[in-house]
Structure formats: structure tokens, C-alpha cells
């Protein structure tokens, strides 16, 4: 495992590099589609390859509960189990476990929780999380962390941060495989002083990479961006930087501009299943009547299978009839759009035009209204089953 920094922008913190993994080299900045349960929802591995995806994210919590780590081990490991011969990052599942709220108890030793599936009781420790991820065989694995709510008090966030630090040390000591990169997760909520302490402490331990966790959980976007900016400057330039759970086009650009290399989010696939498709002007709801007789694809000139093959009118018809193919085609388009955006971003970094590209994109792209976005986020978090990605 290695990371090569190739170029940085003179007028921003944007940077281009390469993650060298046992399953191929991944150019950065990169967006990872979320396949929590060993599948990116609605798509086959071949469809992901056609989109030119080089790395996906899977979730240890979900795979531990179903089908079980032992089953995947018997099937030859996660790559073979899901028929994916490219790179994989496994999240520890810390966020999913902490979303269980009333179904869990936390102490310094680990977490006792009840499965959101059948109510069975489980005890997870940092050492077990590393053992599970080593058995799964992902290229990049994550420490177990405690993810506080965005509106928790300073005192509660500080306790969670300190526990995250201790667990990170235990994860580091428990690691046996050296063909996997272990990343630490910086916590600290929305408090700059805690983020700074967390970044300084974790970087002193010498991990292979560093993630910024606990953001995009309901706080205003200006707060998210400020926390990213304050944290990144404390992370080593020679190590990859991973912003967890962020995936809207405008946020990807803002994250890259602040020095982030890796992103993941279920947003592009989730909104696709709800009929929201990305365009260069913003999201479009394919269910709207205006698309019912539109002969062109949703994004003219887009090279994805969906836009090469079908009209917007056909997609409108599929969603009007609740046909499953509509979810697949919308997902193909959204992931293709994000991949193409990341490729354009990287090219702009390499040729020194990133700041101009960012300004041009944001001038033409209309993001979701901020109050509406926060309201949607709150409703989505409230509607989710405990532990759901």
C-alpha cells in the first residue's frame, strides 16, 4: 500500500495523487460508491466497471450481521464473494452502531449493541473490528471510532473523541496484515479546538491515512466546510485524506479545494432511487411532467449507458410506473456523473486550472436550498432503520 502525491494547486489546497493498492492504482481525488452490504444498490460489478469505478466501500457492521464474517471467509474473502477484483475500503461500522442509540451501551472496552435485524446482542471491540476487516480482506480498513451527534455538548464530544483515540491505538496494535492500509478517524464534532487536538494526536501515531468523520450529519454546510479547513492543515501532506459521508457535487468540489483526496457517500445512489438525477445545472426530478415528452436524454452529451440509450421521457415513464429498471438507470447516470466530475476535477488540478473550473461549475450549478437540505437530512435520519447506511 502506498500513496503518491503528484501535484498540488498553487492557488488552493487541491491535489492530485495515486493510491497504490493490491487491487490496482486509484487516481485521486476519488469518490467511492457505497456498497454497504457487498453490493452497490441495483448495479452489477460489470456495470460499475463500465462507469470506470476503481474502488468501492463496504461496511463491516452490515457484513458482520449478514451474511457473517465467517461466511465471507469461507467464500474466499470479500473480493471473491462480491465478484469485485478492484480495490475495496471497509468502514468499521462505527457510525451504524452509534446510530442504534437506545440499542447500544458504550464503555472504554467496546460496544454492546442489539442487532437492528433480529434484536440479538453483540459485543464489539476495536480488536474484533480489525480482525473482521482483516478476514474480509479489504485494501483499506478503518479504526473503530465513536461518532457523536452534531448537536452534542462539548463535554460529550470530548469523551467520544478521547475514546476514539484510545480505540485507534488498540486497532493499530491489533493489526497483523501489512497488505492493508489502516486509516484513523479524526473526531471532535463541530468544535475547532477538539478537531485540532484529535488531528494532532492521531497523526502522532503514524497511520497510513487519515479520515475526517462525524460531519454532514445535520450541521450547516458553512460549519462543515470550516471544520474541514481547520482539520486538513494538521494532516500530513504525504498521507491520503478521506472525508467520510460527503457526496453532493458542490461539496466534492469544496472538499477537493480544501485538500481532500477520498470521498464516499450513499447520496448519489439514494437520490437516484428517488428520481433525482444530477445535471451540470443541478439535480432534476425525473418524475416532473416536463420530462414526460422530452426526446433528449436527461444530460445531452453524457456518455453513460442511460443517456446514450434512453430519452428522459422513457425514464419519466419508468418512475411513473415504479418500474425497477428506472432505479438502475438513474443510479448508473448519477454515479457516471460523479465519476466524470471527479475526472474533470483531477484533470483541472494537473493542468493548473482547478480554481477556474471550480468557479465555472459552481456558477452554473444550483445546489439544493440549504434550509430544505437540512430539513431533508433530518427527515432522512429520522426515517432510517437503526444501523442502516
Q: Which of 57, 40, 6 is nearest to 263 (CA)?
A: 57
Return all residues near 345 (Cβ < 8 A) that are at least 6 apart.
14, 29, 252, 253, 256, 354, 357
C-alpha span between 389 and 381 (Å, rounded): 10
Beta bridge partners of 24: 21
2 is catalytic: no
Catalytic residue of the set 2, 91, 139, 152 = 91
Angle ∠(305,56,297) on CA atoms, nearest 5: 20
What region does 361 belong to: left with phi over 0, alpha with psi -120 to 50, or beta? alpha
Which of the following is catalytic: 139, 145, 261, 264? 264
Instruction: Give the SS3 label for residue 382.
Output: helix
Residue whose cell numbers read 448495479: 43
Q: Is residue 11 annotated as a catalytic residue, yes or no?
A: no
Give the Cα separation of 12 and 92 in Å (integer).
Answer: 32
C-alpha triplet 10, 244, 305: angle, nearest 5° = 85
Nearest Cα neighbor of 145 from 164, 160, 132, 129 is 164
User: What is the Cα–Cα distance from 215 to 238, expressed in whole angstroms?
Assistant: 23
List, as one string, the DSSP characters of 282-312: EEEETTSGGGTT--S-SSTT--SHHHHH--H
Region label for 129, one of left (φ > 0), alpha (ψ between -120 and 50) or beta (otherwise): alpha
- Distance from C-alpha of 204 to C-alpha of 211, rounded to nearest angstrom: 14
Active site residues: 91, 264
Amino acid at each position: 500500500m502506498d500513496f503518491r502525491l503528484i501535484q498540488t494547486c498553487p492557488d488552493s489546497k487541491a491535489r492530485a495523487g495515486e493510491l497504490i493498492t493490491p487491487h490496482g492504482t486509484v487516481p485521486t481525488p476519488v469518490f467511492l460508491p457505497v456498497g454497504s452490504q457487498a453490493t452497490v444498490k441495483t448495479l452489477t460489478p460489470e456495470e460499475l466497471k463500465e462507469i470506470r469505478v476503481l474502488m468501492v466501500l463496504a461496511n463491516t457492521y452490515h457484513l458482520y450481521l449478514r451474511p457473517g464474517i465467517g461466511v465471507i471467509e469461507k467464500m474466499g474473502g470479500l473480493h471473491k464473494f462480491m465478484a469485485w477484483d478492484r480495490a475495496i475500503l471497509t468502514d468499521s461500522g462505527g457510525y451504524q452502531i452509534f446510530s442504534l442509540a437506545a440499542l447500544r451501551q458504550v464503555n472504554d472496552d467496546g460496544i454492546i449493541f442489539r442487532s437492528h435485524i433480529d434484536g440479538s446482542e453483540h459485543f464489539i471491540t476495536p480488536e474484533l473490528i480489525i480482525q473482521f476487516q482483516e478476514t474480509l480482506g479489504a485494501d483499506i480498513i478503518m479504526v473503530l471510532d465513536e461518532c457523536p451527534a452534531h448537536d452534542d455538548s462539548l463535554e460529550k464530544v470530548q469523551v467520544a473523541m478521547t475514546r476514539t483515540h484510545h480505540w485507534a491505538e488498540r486497532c493499530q496494535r491489533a493489526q497483523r496484515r501489512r497488505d492493508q492500509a489502516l486509516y484513523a478517524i479524526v473526531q471532535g464534532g463541530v468544535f475547532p479546538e477538539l478537531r485540532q487536538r484529535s488531528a494532532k494526536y492521531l497523526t502522532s501515531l503514524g497511520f497510513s491515512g487519515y479520515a475526517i468523520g462525524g460531519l454532514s450529519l445535520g450541521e450547516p454546510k458553512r460549519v462543515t466546510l470550516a471544520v474541514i479547513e481547520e482539520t486538513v492543515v494538521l494532516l500530513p501532506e504525504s498521507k491520503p485524506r478521506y472525508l467520510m459521508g460527503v457526496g453532493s457535487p458542490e461539496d466534492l468540489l469544496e472538499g477537493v479545494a480544501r485538500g481532500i483526496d477520498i470521498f464516499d457517500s450513499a447520496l448519489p445512489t439514494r437520490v437516484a432511487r428517488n428520481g433525482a438525477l444530477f445535471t451540470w445545472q443541478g439535480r432534476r426530478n425525473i418524475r416532473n411532467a416536463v420530462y414526460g415528452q422530452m426526446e433528449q436524454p436527461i444530460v445531452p452529451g453524457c456518455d453513460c449507458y442511460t443517456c446514450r440509450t434512453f430519452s428522459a421521457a422513457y425514464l419519466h415513464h419508468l418512475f411513473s410506473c415504479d418500474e425497477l429498471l428506472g432505479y438502475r438507470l438513474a443510479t448508473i447516470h448519477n454515479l457516471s456523473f460523479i465519476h466524470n466530475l471527479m475526472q474533470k476535477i483531477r484533470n483541472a488540478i494537473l493542468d493548473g486550472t482547478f480554481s477556474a473550473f471550480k468557479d465555472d461549475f459552481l456558477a452554473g450549478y444550483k445546489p439544493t436550498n440549504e434550509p430544505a437540505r437540512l430539513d431533508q437530512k433530518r427527515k432522512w435520519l429520522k426515517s432510517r432503520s437503526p444501523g442502516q447506511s
